[in-house]
């Protein structure tokens, strides 16, 4: 009788741990699957960044999750509350991770996830999104080759004061 009591307690403890773990996973916004890459020292030694030498593009998603059959999706975690729709810059960052994963593995991620503090967005990695990303990369490369730098894209002095390129800029607002 006593053995059955211990077995019952062990099964109960296992069930509690299972449900607690599942709840925590849901709270992270990560899909079910195996985490194969995590850019945080809390999990493991930091992995090398993803890199595409042809595009001179490198990146480190917060997580890469194997969702089954070796198919991997990037997850980018943002600490801010979710906007109504994901910011374009965040979508492009996620698209870059999708592209890098595809170039590394030879398998196209169907989507990536943007996890904000209170909401997760699934962003489909479509050919149109990839095309927009490649056009953006091309524009950045062209701006790098501009002797005067890229043209200023705003008329806000506060943005100029906070800009990391302020000391090199020939178009300051103040």
Read off the tokens for 151. Answer: 């043209």
Residue 174 lies in a domain: no
CA distance 22 to 28: 10
Query: Is residue 141 situated within a structural domain?
Result: yes
Domain count for the chain, please give it: 2
55-90 tens-digit pLDDT: 999 999 999 999 998 899 999 999 999 999 999 999
d(CA 73, CA 101): 8
Q: Which two tokens stand for residue 6?
A: 């211990």
Shared-domain flag, residues 103 and 137:
yes
pLDDT at 174 over 80: no
Q: Give the model's pLDDT for residue 93.
A: 98
Give the 3-state DSSP-derived string for the chain, with helices as H, strands as E and coil as C: CHHHHHHHHHHHHHHHHHHHHHHHHHHHCCCCCEEEEECCCCCCCCCCCEEECCCCEEECCCEEEEEECCEEEEEEECCCCCCCCCCHHHHHHHHHHHHHHHHHHCCCCCEEEEECCCCEEEEECCHHHHHHHHHHHHHHHHHHCCCCCCCCCCCCHHHHHHCCCHHHCCCCCC
5 and 59 housed in the same domain? no
9 with 91, same domain: the answer is: no
Q: Are residues 71 and 138 in the same domain?
A: yes
Phi-psi region of 28 (alpha: psi -120 to 50; beta: other; left: phi over 0): alpha
Residues 84, 12 share a domain: no
Q: What is the pLDDT of residue 54?
A: 94
pLDDT, tens digit (0-9, with 9 covering 90-100), for 89-137: 999 999 999 999 999 999 999 999 999 999 999 999 999 999 999 999 9
Instruction: Specify the pLDDT at position 123.
Output: 98
Q: Are residues 113 and 124 in the same domain?
A: yes
Q: The tokens 């091309």 sit on which residue?
A: 138
Please, what is the average pLDDT of the chain? 84
The verdict on 91 and 128 lying in the same domain is yes
* 82 and 160 part of one domain: yes
Instruction: State which residues form the domain around 44.
Output: 33-168
């Amino acid at each position: 009788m006593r053995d059955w009591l211990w077995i019952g307690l062990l099964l109960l403890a296992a069930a509690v741990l299972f449900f607690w773990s599942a709840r925590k996973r849901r709270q992270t916004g990560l899909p079910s699957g195996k985490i194969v890459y995590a850019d945080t020292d809390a999990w493991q030694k930091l992995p090398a960044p993803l890199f595409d030498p042809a595009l001179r593009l490198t990146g480190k998603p917060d997580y890469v999750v194997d969702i089954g059959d070796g198919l991997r999706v990037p997850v980018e975690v943002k600490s801010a509350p979710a906007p109504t729709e994901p910011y374009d810059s965040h979508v492009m960052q996620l698209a870059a991770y999708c592209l890098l994963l595809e170039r590394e593995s030879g398998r196209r991620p169907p989507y990536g996830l943007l996890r904000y503090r209170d909401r997760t967005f699934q962003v489909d990695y479509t050919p149109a999104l990839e095309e927009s990303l490649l056009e953006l990369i091309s524009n950045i490369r062209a701006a790098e080759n501009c002797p005067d730098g890229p043209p200023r894209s705003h008329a806000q002095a506060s943005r100029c004061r906070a800009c990391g390129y302020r000391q090199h800029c020939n178009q300051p607002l103040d």
